[in-house]
Amino acid sequence: MSERRVLVTGGTGTVGSAVVDSLAERGDVAVRAGTRDPAAARERFVSDPSFNGDVEFVRFDFEKPETWGRAFEGVSGLFLVLPPGGSADRVLDAAAAAVRVGVSRLVYLSVLGVERNPVVPHWRIERGLRGLDAAHTFLRASFFMQNFAEVHRRDIAERNEVFVPAGNGETSFVDARDVGEVGAKALTEAGHANRAYDVTGPAALDYDEVAGVFADVLGRPISYPNPSLLRFVRRAYARGRPLPFVLVMAGIYTTARLGLAGRVSDDARRVLGRPPRSLRTFVTDYRERFEPPDSSATDADPRSKVSGDR
Ligand SMILES: NC(=O)c1ccc[n+]([C@@H]2O[C@H](COP(=O)([O-])OP(=O)(O)OC[C@H]3O[C@@H](n4cnc5c(N)ncnc54)[C@H](OP(=O)(O)O)[C@@H]3O)[C@@H](O)[C@H]2O)c1
């Protein structure tokens, strides 16, 4: 059978699930979603009314090479995600193993500005992937709008504030659904081999402007208190966020504070053939997630709380 098959690692995550959705919607390749718990993942996708169905869930764990063989069987394209706290070496080992058994196209979720930042693991992963005998595409993504609906949801829903230590810096927020769609195109269409795309949203906004968009769409005052790094770390820590996670977030917002997160690129528009989604569209589509507690859903399953297309 000559059907093309693609494996999406991180297939249950913010971007991976958007890649899976986008590929399933296209319908021109067989889609396999990698997860450490296929039964739970299937349950989650299937309970989502907008899920369109034809996806195979397989066990895949970067830390367990014994899961790789079955997951890579018959696969020609691979979407790679470094999981939070994951090991760059494991990602590279898995990619090399995949290429050995016939994967010819690698699409990797990287970060904006990686080419100037050898400290982040993405830099080393990009370099390693370039050395493999397969076409690669790097998606150097800006800050995901979906972070508002996950990490910062409670501050917005319960306290009517966007509480991040970003000073007056701008960020070129991108909707993870657009990153996923760019990934699906890079996996299935011609013309993306050996390229790196800066995947950003359509505009750079500071957090006063972000709060303004939330207030407009949600119809209630939302403020940006512009907290210091210390205040932010204290609150995150008091909420029980693990220290490594708090430190990563502090690093990300310091980048914004220093004015290094605001670059806007045209790459997403060129690949998608339409402008990437604005923050206003994102907040409108996810507005249920930001409703105050009595009318809002829980954090249990962000996938099923989104109205509109994901
Ligand atoms: N957040 C941002 O604004 C932003 C911006 C640019 C780039 N990035 C990059 O995006 C990546 C994270 O992507 P995301 O936000 O889409 O992920 P995510 O929502 O945090 O989800 C993590 C995914 O990794 C999977 N996973 C966790 N441990 C794994 C393991 N040992 N083996 C295989 N899979 C594992 C999880 O699947 P299961 O639990 O189902 O196994 C899940 O699908 C990071 O590398 C980050 O640097 C983030």
Q: What is the pLDDT of residues 90-111, one digit of tens each?
A: 999 999 999 999 999 999 999 9
pLDDT at 54: 87
Q: Which mutation among 7, 9, 14 tests ligand 1's pocket best, with the greatest number of atoms within 8 A of CB?
A: 14
Q: Does the CB atom of residue 113 touch ligand 1 within 6 A?
A: no
pLDDT at 301: 42
Q: Where are the domains of the chain?
A: 5-141, 147-170+202-263+274-295
Q: H or E stretch including 141?
A: strand 135-141
Q: Does the CB atom of residue 187 touch ligand 1 within 6 A?
A: no
12 CA to centre of ligand 1 in angstroms: 8
Q: Reply yes or no on domain 147-170+202-263+274-295 having CATH 3.90.25.10.
A: yes
Q: How confident is the model at residue 295 (pLDDT cuts 50, 70, 90)?
A: low
pLDDT at 51: 73
Q: Reply yes or no on domain 5-141 having CATH 3.40.50.720.
A: yes
Q: Tell whether the model's pLDDT for residue 294 goes beyond 90.
A: no
pLDDT at 46: 81
Q: Does the CB atom of residue 150 touch ligand 1 within 6 A?
A: no
List, for residues 30-58, the tens digit of each pLDDT value.
Answer: 999 999 999 999 998 888 877 767 899 99
Is pTM beyond 0.85? Reply is yes
2 closest CA partner among 79, 113, 76: 76
| CA 189, chain centre distance (Å) | 21
Q: Does the CB atom of residue 109 touch ligand 1 within 6 A?
A: yes
Q: Does the CB atom of residue 138 touch ligand 1 within 6 A?
A: no
Residues 6+ apart with CB under 8 A from 145: 173, 174, 175, 176, 201, 277, 279, 282
Cα separations in angstroms, 151 against 186, 246, 275, 290: 28, 11, 26, 12
9 CA to centre of ligand 1 in angstroms: 9
13 CA to centre of ligand 1 in angstroms: 5
Parallel/antiparallel/unpaired status of strands 205-206 and 195-199:
unpaired
Q: Does the CB atom of residue 144 touch ligand 1 within 6 A?
A: yes
Burial environment of residue 83 by CB neighbours within 10 A (0 to 12, 13 to 18, 19 or more): middle
CA distance 265 to 198: 6
Q: Using the atom order of ligand 1, give the atom closest to the CA of residue 11.
A: 43
